[in-house]
């Protein structure tokens, strides 16, 4: 190269000589230099064009979807409104029928498929015939056709709900639910098979679960219509293929039976029976391997269920069910084994709740804390000997439980303790004070209980007992009964049992429970997982301890809300577990506000779109314990996400009245104000939140964003930076808030660096939680990257009320003007009426 | 983690690995984003120079010291190289595996596969050259992938314009020969 450089510098005449001198006898080297000289003198397309015309290579082919059309485009009888999603088989759009006005889901297939027109006609006819079946489990097709540029499209009825694939992304289904879905699919297949039609592509993507619980089979005949024979099969498409399909033989009804068998297996276990890293590997498994035995994966699966699936998955089509109809008979039979629906009990429980709710709603609307005829009770903090710290702590927890029990029976009101400026308890007629004191005694700690009327200081009842850790239940029950008795409220025999169940029968269980409470209060995923383990132990040590079951369910709800991922500590499906645990808790003690709170919270998780039943359960929990700030707060949160702002604000105000410095409640109130355009009030609330809890990161992160809306980029930056340093588990909101503030102050590279960091902190980038999606989207929008924000919204899970609420903020005003965003948000709007 | 844009740029120029990686990543993302957007808009005539320039304007609106911005331009050029090579690899991988839909929207459908192959060859040649002559590779990156002119390249690499001119000519001849 150096030689070449010198040669280049020489005059053209002298070059030849120079090459000879420099290379000596090395002919190869001389040739190289000469070749370089030639290359230097001649043009080179690639190098001289620069890469001007290569810029498009930066985009991978997958993004160059030939089926992309813009809103407003006309296809068949339809006008495109917005993109709904995309998959391997083209893009799905929301489209309006120009004559009938109805909105349809329009799927535009790639043009590439080289199918001869006769085959194509046949398949179109088949899809139309399937639609003509008019079966409740087969999706209705409005129109099938070809666009002027040769793309096939299918316009079908648009249903509310999700695909089975979406559902599976949250984990396996309960056996009953799985068989319930499978029998509906089989029923749809049965009708098709009877008409001589074969689906050929039964898979979770093609099974749609409507919100009404109806299952719709999509895409009849379309698989072959869209598939390109030139291309080899991909991993995703072979998982559900029957052995005969894998051998490229003709698929008949029995092939559909196989595919549904695979889907059913996957619903139960979360994994398809035949898997592998490559298509070839999977095909090999389908042909030869037997799947992992169901009973080793699924707990308590009936033999009939195992046999049914085994028959659907026979390698030899002749040994399988002959068609959907035969399959559905056995599926129905198996489904019938679960005679009592898992959710029925919740249904009953909620119904019971609603009956009593009328009273609690009246209470919510009434700002006075008490009605005069009920005795009032305030509980003094437990006084104890510092030498026996453990006993004192146990007694403190016990006193809370006692208060909850007394309230649970509905005949006494517990009121917050009020103190005057000197620290003395404010007394008034009708207010009773309960005090518990732990004393030291040679035989062990002793508990002294006394109840006195506050204005007269008259002792109404007192007791002194050994504080035996093995007899907490008896102790607690006796105190509750003693208090009620002294207040003129005798206790029935049935109530005695209920009261007892509120207390743990073993001190070990209680201690585990208290440790769990401490962990739960930290509100971080690892702490909540550890809390779960404590509660689980507590409930094993004492299987009648309602509180342990309730809190366990509550912890599951928290994890679900934060985007649960399977872990060593929480391997089961938290939704199913949570529902069962909340049921168990309300069954053990129907008067426990905690149990109802757990019930309400898990119902929120069960139906992220509308929180069916949750509002009623919250109201019932509140009626049982109207002094539970946490219950009001959670109730407020639920109403917030549902867009019921005035009611939500009222609930937060109650929570604040009970615990004035709750930053936790101030922040969502500020969020509502922000959405109502009351920015100044919103900022004032956030100021109070930050000063009440300067070390709570979410108050700072929220204020940071609000400050950017008023142009206070400097303040926004400070808040976000401080928030970032407060909690190593709380990363994404402060990072995104900081990115936004940095961008708005012109620090673009630093902003994008923070944004990258935030993006990388997302637990599951393919499905960010609504919170994660919101925070990052808000920073992306500030940086002008609206398409990234849209992608976040599109990918966020679960799709529901929270996603809707988060994306209503004024910082996303611009984004919401995008038609796709508007359509995505309309879809999750909890206020919209369901068809 | 640096807090401001200035800190990041200064850090990268001083050789701080974390700052360099972060900036490189940002440039990579931004280039792909712009390229994709231009594709969707149907504008096929976008040149790399325009692309790099747009990324540069987008990412550096505030005033920063000239030598820092020059170094950042070098990073953008390197990112552009990687973006193009990754794109080319994805294309060829897609063809072999048969999983992806073939590109059909190109105006130059015929030219695309050819250029993809050439680009990968060029990349290989550059990697070879890197072994013996990293400075000239840097010049090629700035001029070819970054669309920088001689003066900008000189500033980014802290070289004289004469050296840049000579390096470019030598490297170009070497690469042209290697690509024959």
Say if CB A663 and CB A694 are below 8 A apart. Answer: no
Mutation site for B-interface testing, chosen from A8, A40, A57 by largest number of B Cβ within 10 Å: A57
Cα of A110 vs its chain's centroid, Å: 32
Residue with tokens 């070839």: A280
Average pLDDT over residues A304-312: 89
Window A:309-328, CB contacts with B under 8 Å: none
Longest dimension (CA), chain B: 49
- Residues near A44 by Cβ (< 8 Å), separated by ≥ 6? B172, B176, B179
Residue of A nearest to B87 (CA): A58
Percent of chain A with pLDDT over 90: 26
Average pLDDT over residues A118-125: 60
Q: Check pLDDT > 80 for residue A601.
A: yes
- A656/A660 Cα distance (integer angstroms): 4
- A396/A393 Cα distance (integer angstroms): 5
| Residues of B with Cβ-Cβ distance to A37 under 8 angstroms | 173
Q: Do A66 and B22 touch (CB under 8 A)?
A: no
Kindly report which listed range (A333-337, A659-663, B22-26) carries the lowest average pLDDT score: A659-663
Q: What pLDDT score was predicted for residue A62?
A: 38
Say if CB A107 and CB A154 are below 8 A apart. Answer: yes
| Residues of B with Cβ-Cβ distance to A746 under 8 angstroms | 5, 61-62
The model's pLDDT over B121-155, given as tens digits with 9 standing for 90+, comes to 888 899 999 998 899 999 998 888 887 888 889 98
Mutation site for B-interface testing, chosen from A46, A56, A149, A787 by largest number of B Cβ within 10 Å: A56
| Residues of A with Cβ-Cβ distance to B174 under 8 angstroms | 1, 4, 36, 39
Strands A431-439 and A383-384: parallel
Q: What pLDDT score was predicted for residue A639?
A: 95
A122 falls in which pLDDT band (50, 70, 90)? low
Q: Quick check: A51 contacting B, CB < 8 Å?
A: yes
| Residues of A with Cβ-Cβ distance to B38 under 8 angstroms | 55-56
Name the nearest CA neighbour of A182 among A202, A199, A197, A196.
A202
Q: Quick check: A787 contacting B, CB < 8 Å?
A: yes
Mean pLDDT of chain A: 80
Q: What pLDDT score was predicted for residue A556?
A: 92
Q: Do B48 and A232 touch (CB under 8 A)?
A: no
| Residues of A with Cβ-Cβ distance to B17 under 8 angstroms | none
Which of A158-172, A648-662, A693-707, B34-48 is most confident? A693-707
Q: Check pLDDT > 50 for residue A715.
A: yes
- From the list B8, B33, B91, the residue facing A61 with the nearest CB is B91
Q: Do B84 and A53 touch (CB under 8 A)?
A: no
- A366/A345 Cα distance (integer angstroms): 32
- Residues near B96 by Cβ (< 8 Å), separated by ≥ 6? none
Q: Quick check: B144 contacting A, CB < 8 Å?
A: yes
Give me the active site residues of A, please.
201
- From the list A46, A59, A749, the residue facing B60 with the nearest CB is A749
Q: Check pLDDT > 60 for residue B103.
A: no
Window B:100-119, CB contacts with A under 8 Å: 100-106, 108, 111-112, 115-116, 118-119
Q: Check pLDDT > 70 for residue B109.
A: no
| Residues of A with Cβ-Cβ distance to B30 under 8 angstroms | 752
The model's pLDDT over A86-114, given as tens digits with 9 standing for 90+, comes to 655 567 788 888 777 777 888 776 654 43
**H or E element, residue B20:** helix B17-40
B67 falls in which pLDDT band (50, 70, 90)? confident
Q: What pLDDT score was predicted for residue A344?
A: 36
Q: What pLDDT score was predicted for residue A700?
A: 94
Q: Do A62 and B170 touch (CB under 8 A)?
A: no
Q: How far is A39 from chain B (nearest CA, A)?
A: 5
Q: Quick check: B24 contacting A, CB < 8 Å?
A: no
Kindly report which listed range (A287-291, A549-553, A824-828, B125-129) carries the lowest average pLDDT score: A287-291
Please, what's the b/e burial string for A253-280 (b: 16 or more CB within 10 A of its CB; e: otherwise)? bbbbbbbbbbbbbbbbbbebbbebeebe
Q: Do B40 and A68 touch (CB under 8 A)?
A: yes
Q: What pLDDT score was predicted for residue A343?
A: 38
A807 falls in which pLDDT band (50, 70, 90)? very high
Q: What is the pTM of this model?
A: 0.58
Which of A42-51, A70-79, A365-374 is most confident? A70-79
- From the list B62, B87, B174, the residue facing A747 with the nearest CB is B62
A581 falls in which pLDDT band (50, 70, 90)? very high
Say if CB A749 and CB A768 are below 8 A apart. Answer: no
Q: What pLDDT score was predicted for residue A211?
A: 76
- Which ranges constitute the DSSP H helices of A252-340? 253-269, 279-288, 303-312, 324-336
Q: What pLDDT score was predicted for residue A99?
A: 74
- From the list A4, A38, A58, the residue facing B32 with the nearest CB is A58
Q: How far is B157 from chain A (nearest CA, A)?
A: 19
Structure tokens of A391? 């006993």
The model's pLDDT over A733-788, given as tens digits with 9 standing for 90+, comes to 999 999 999 999 888 899 999 999 999 999 888 989 899 999 999 999 999 888 89
Window A:73-132, CB contacts with B under 8 Å: 110-112
| Residues of A with Cβ-Cβ distance to B99 under 8 angstroms | 231-232, 234
Q: Quick check: B43 contacting A, CB < 8 Å?
A: no
Q: Do A742 and B4 touch (CB under 8 A)?
A: yes
- A696/A705 Cα distance (integer angstroms): 15
The model's pLDDT over A421-456, given as tens digits with 9 standing for 90+, comes to 666 777 888 888 998 888 887 778 888 899 988 888
Q: Quick check: A26 contacting B, CB < 8 Å?
A: no
How many A×B Cβ pairs under 8 Å? 198
| Residues of B with Cβ-Cβ distance to A68 under 8 angstroms | 40
Q: What pLDDT score was predicted for residue A466?
A: 84
CA dihedral A746, A750, A756, A759 (to 10 degrees): -60
Q: Is the ipTM of this complex over 0.90?
A: no
Supply φ then ψ for residue A323, to 5 degrees: -165, 180
- From the list A5, A747, A749, the residue facing B23 with the nearest CB is A749
Q: What pLDDT score was predicted for residue A734?
A: 95
Residue with tokens 């993302």: B29
The model's pLDDT over A628-650, given as tens digits with 9 standing for 90+, comes to 788 899 999 999 999 999 999 99
Kindly report which listed range (A388-392, A517-521, A734-738) carries the lowest average pLDDT score: A388-392
- Residues near A78 by Cβ (< 8 Å), separated by ≥ 6? A95, A96, A97, A98, A104, A106, A143, A155
**H or E element, residue B9:** helix B5-13
Q: How far is A621 from chain B (nearest CA, A)?
A: 47
Q: Quick check: B9 contacting A, CB < 8 Å?
A: yes
């Amino acid at each position: 190269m150096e030689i070449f450089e010198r040669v280049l510098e020489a005059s053209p005449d002298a070059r030849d000589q120079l090459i000879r001198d420099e290379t000596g006898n090395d002919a190869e080297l001389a040739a190289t230099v000469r070749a370089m000289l030639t290359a230097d003198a001649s043009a080179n397309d690639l190098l001289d064009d620069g890469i001007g015309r290569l810029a498009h290579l930066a985009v991978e082919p997958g993004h160059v979807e030939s089926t992309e059309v813009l809103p407003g485009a006309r296809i068949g009888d339809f006008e495109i409104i917005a993109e709904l999603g995309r998959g391997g088989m083209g893009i799905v759009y929301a489209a309006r029928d120009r004559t009938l006005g109805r909105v349809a889901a329009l799927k535009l297939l790639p043009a590439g498929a080289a199918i001869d027109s006769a085959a194509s006609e046949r398949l179109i006819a088949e899809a139309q015939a399937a639609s003509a079946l008019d079966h409740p489990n087969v999706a209705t097709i409005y129109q099938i056709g070809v666009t002027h540029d040769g793309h096939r499209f299918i316009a079908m009825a648009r249903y509310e709900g999700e695909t089975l694939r979406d559902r599976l992304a949250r984990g396996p289904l309960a056996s009953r639910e799985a068989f319930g879905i499978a029998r509906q699919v089989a029923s749809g297949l049965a009708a098709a098979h009877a008409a001589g039609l074969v689906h050929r592509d039964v898979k979770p993507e093609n099974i749609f679960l409507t919100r009404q619980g109806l299952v719709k089979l999509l895409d009849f005949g379309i698989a072959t219509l869209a598939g390109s024979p030139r291309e080899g099969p991909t991993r995703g498409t072979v998982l559900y293929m029957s052995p005969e399909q894998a051998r490229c033989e003709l698929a008949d009804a029995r092939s559909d039976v196989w595919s549904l068998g695979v889907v059913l297996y996957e619903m139960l276990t979360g994994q398809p029976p035949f898997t592998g890293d490559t298509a070839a590997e999977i095909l090999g498994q389908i042909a030869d391997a037997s799947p992992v035995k169901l009973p080793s994966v699924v707990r308590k699966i009936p033999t009939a269920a195992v046999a049914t699936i085994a028959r659907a998955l026979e390698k030899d089509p002749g040994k399988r069910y002959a068609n959907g109809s035969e399959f559905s008979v056995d599926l129905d039979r198996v489904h019938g084994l679960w005679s009592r629906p898992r959710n029925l009990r919740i249904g009953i429980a909620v119904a019971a709740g609603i009956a009593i709710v009328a009273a609690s709603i009246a209470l919510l609307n009434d700002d006075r804390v008490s009605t005069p005829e009920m005795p009032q009770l305030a509980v003094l903090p437990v006084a104890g000997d510092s030498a026996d710290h453990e006993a004192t702590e146990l007694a403190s927890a016990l006193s809370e439980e006692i208060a909850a029990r007394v309230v649970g029976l509905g005949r006494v009101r517990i009121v917050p303790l009020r103190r005057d400026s000197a620290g003395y308890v404010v007394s008034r007629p009708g207010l009773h004070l309960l005090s518990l004191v732990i004393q030291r005694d040679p035989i062990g700690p002793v508990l002294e209980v006394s109840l006195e009327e506050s204005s007269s200081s008259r002792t109404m009842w007192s007791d002194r007992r050994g504080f035996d850790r093995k007899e907490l239940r008896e102790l607690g029950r006796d105190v509750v009964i003693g208090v009620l008795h002294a207040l003129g409220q005798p206790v029935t025999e049935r109530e005695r049992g209920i009261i007892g169940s509120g207390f743990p029968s073993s001190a070990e269980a209680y201690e585990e429970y208290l440790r769990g409470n401490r962990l739960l209060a930290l509100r971080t995923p690892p702490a909540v997982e550890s809390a779960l383990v404590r509660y689980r132990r507590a409930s094993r040590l004492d299987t009648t301890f309602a509180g342990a079951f309730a809190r366990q369910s509550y912890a599951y709800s928290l994890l679900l809300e934060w985007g649960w991922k399977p872990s060593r500590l929480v391997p089961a499906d938290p939704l199913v577990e949570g529902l069962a645990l909340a049921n168990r808790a309300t069954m053990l003690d129907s008067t426990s506000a905690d149990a109802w709170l757990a019930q309400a919270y898990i119902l929120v998780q069960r139906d992220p779109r509308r929180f069916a039943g949750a509002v009623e359960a919250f109201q019932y929990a509140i009626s049982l314990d109207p002094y539970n700030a946490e219950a009001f707060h959670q109730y407020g949160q639920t109403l917030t996400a549902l867009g019921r702002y005035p009611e939500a604000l009222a609930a937060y105000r109650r929570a604040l009245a009970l615990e004035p410095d709750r930053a936790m409640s101030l922040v969502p109130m500020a969020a509502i104000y922000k959405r109502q355009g009351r920015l100044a009030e919103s900022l004032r609330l956030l100021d109070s939140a930050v000063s009440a809890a300067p070390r709570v990161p979410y108050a700072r992160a929220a204020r940071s964003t609000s400050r950017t809306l008023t142009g206070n980029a400097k303040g926004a930056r400070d808040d976000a930076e401080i928030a970032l340093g407060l909690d190593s588990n709380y990363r994404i909101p402060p990072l995104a808030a900081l990115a936004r503030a940095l961008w708005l102050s012109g620090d673009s590279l630093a902003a994008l660096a923070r944004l990258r960091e935030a993006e990388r902190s997302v637990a599951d980038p393919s499905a960010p939680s609504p919170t994660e999606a919101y925070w990052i989207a808000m920073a992306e929008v500030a940086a002008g990257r609206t398409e990234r924000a849209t992608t976040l919204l599109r990918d966020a899970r679960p799709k529901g009320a929270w996603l809707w609420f988060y994306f209503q903020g004024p910082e996303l005003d611009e984004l919401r003007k995008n038609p796709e965003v508007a359509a995505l948000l309309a879809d999750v709007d909890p206020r919209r009426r369901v068809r | 983690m640096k807090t401001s844009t200035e800190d990041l740029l200064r850090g990268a120029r001083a050789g701080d690995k974390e700052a360099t990686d972060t900036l490189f990543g940002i440039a990579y993302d931004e280039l792909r984003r712009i390229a994709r957007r231009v594709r969707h808009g149907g504008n096929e005539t976008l040149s790399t120079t325009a692309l790099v320039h747009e990324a540069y304007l987008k990412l550096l609106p505030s005033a920063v010291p000239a030598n820092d911005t020059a170094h950042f331009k070098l990073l953008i050029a390197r990112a552009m190289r990687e973006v193009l090579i990754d794109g080319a690899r994805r294309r060829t991988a897609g063809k072999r595996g048969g999983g992806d839909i073939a590109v059909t929207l190109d105006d130059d459908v015929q030219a695309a596969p050819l250029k993809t192959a050439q680009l990968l060859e060029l990349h290989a040649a550059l990697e070879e050259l890197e072994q013996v002559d990293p400075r000239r590779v840097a010049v090629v990156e700035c001029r070819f992938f970054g669309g920088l002119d001689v003066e900008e390249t000189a500033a980014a690499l802290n070289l004289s314009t004469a050296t840049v001119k000579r390096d470019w000519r030598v490297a170009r001849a070497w690469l042209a020969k290697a690509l024959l």
